[in-house]
Amino acid sequence: MQNIRVEIPRTTNVGNYVVYDLEILLEFNKSRTERFRVSKRFSDFVQFRQLLLNRHLTDLPNLPSKLSSFYKLSSALIEERRTGLANFSQTILNDKKLRMNHEVLNFFSIPKSIISEFNMITSSKDGIEGISTGGKYIIIDSAQHWMDSFKTVKSMLQNARGKMFASDNVVEIRKILKDCEFNQKILKDYLSNNRDLGAGEINRRNSLLESQISELNDLNYTLSNMKFNEQHVKVPLNSNILRDTGNTTSRRIFGKPKETSETKKYDNKGLLQYQQQKMAHQDQDLESLRDIIERQKQIGIAVNEELTIQNELLDGLGQQVDLSTEKMKNAKNKVNKII
């Protein structure tokens, strides 16, 4: 099943050549489709395919023949290339390995984070075994995919932390933590069997993974000791349950840091919950900010592409005006000679 569709709804004549306006649609699911636009010349596709061949990437789809320009009319040639370039682009982008290639993403102006998320959501539909994210799967077949999967597990832990203090669905929280544990085993197995990374890089990634495993263990410990897990009720932060119960040993010992009005009303347990909830909200805000910046980047790329086309159109118009001026000058000289 092809989840990426490429269309070329229109072409633009710029001087002596034609620009093909591509529209790329990534169908994540029934309710979400991401759309990207990019404009390329036929010669850009020829250079792009040769670049991939130089990177020893084989089994590439063919482009429309260059020889067609010698015996086909202009309109028929443009239509043939429009269809052929759309099929070429769609085949490239529906290849799971090719579409993660740096040159491919640059050529089609698609952010790598979007493609990584797209792989995560769509690969489970094809029955691909990989890393679980609440029913979704990511392929771990390269060092870069390992890092993307590691970040996905980190995001799952942040999600579990947020739900822990804002939800009474203990079953869901436990399932997320179980998925994280399973995914971390996959990450560890990949490093154990990998022969492409150097020893230093493997040690660095193992250290990152150990830190993440410790974070998971802390969350499991916190979950098992929280009262609402036994009662299946949500405990408000300003509840008396979180206040001092009269046991002087549970009170905090204040040091040099000054107590604030927000934290003054909590004991140790309440303060821990408050801090973790704050961190979860900050993580969500940062993720929202990242999405906004990513969207702004796409808008900037689209504006730049449009400006490039407009500049080329203006250059072509300028050349035509100069040519018309020269013709008018020659015609005027001929008229003067006749008179």
Q: What is the pLDDT of residues 143-193, one digit of tens each?
A: 777 887 888 888 888 878 877 766 556 777 888 888 888 888 888 878 887
Question: Which pLDDT does position 179 carry in this prediction?
Answer: 81
Strand pairing class (131-132; 137-138): antiparallel
Question: Which pLDDT does position 30 carry in this prediction?
Answer: 76
H helices of 16-137, in order, are 42-54, 68-71, 74-93, 102-108, 112-123
- For the chain, percent of residues with pLDDT exceeding 70: 78
Max Cα-Cα span within the chain: 116
- Domain segments of the chain as ranges: 4-124, 143-232, 266-325
Token pair belonging to 119: 């792989």
- Residue bearing the bigger pLDDT, 127 or 90: 90
Query: In this predicted model, what pLDDT tens digit does every residue of 64-97 receive, in sequence order?
Result: 887 666 555 588 888 899 999 999 999 999 988 8
CA of 126: how far to CAs of 1, 33, 165, 185, 202, in Å? 8, 18, 35, 23, 30
CA of 289: how far to CAs of 135, 281, 285, 292, in Å? 26, 12, 6, 5
Token pair belonging to 3: 């989840």
Q: CB-side exposure of 260: number of CA atoms within 13 Å?
A: 5
Residue 301 has pLDDT above 60, yes or no: yes
Token pair belonging to 160: 């579990």
Q: Which of 134-138, 184-188, 193-197, 286-290 has the lowest mean pLDDT?
A: 134-138
Token pair belonging to 255: 């040091």
Say how many residues make up the chain.
339
Residue 196 has pLDDT above 70, yes or no: yes
Question: Which pLDDT does position 49 carry in this prediction?
Answer: 92
Mean pLDDT of the chain: 78
CA of 220: how far to CAs of 164, 226, 230, 233, in Å? 10, 10, 14, 18
CATH topology for 143-232 is Methane Monooxygenase Hydroxylase; Chain G, domain 1 (1.20.58)
Domain 4-124 has CATH 3.30.1520.10: yes
CB of 146 within 8 A of CB of 196?
no
What's the predicted TM-score (pTM) here? 0.42
Distance CA(308)–CA(202), nearest Å, equals 44
Residue 297 has pLDDT above 60, yes or no: yes
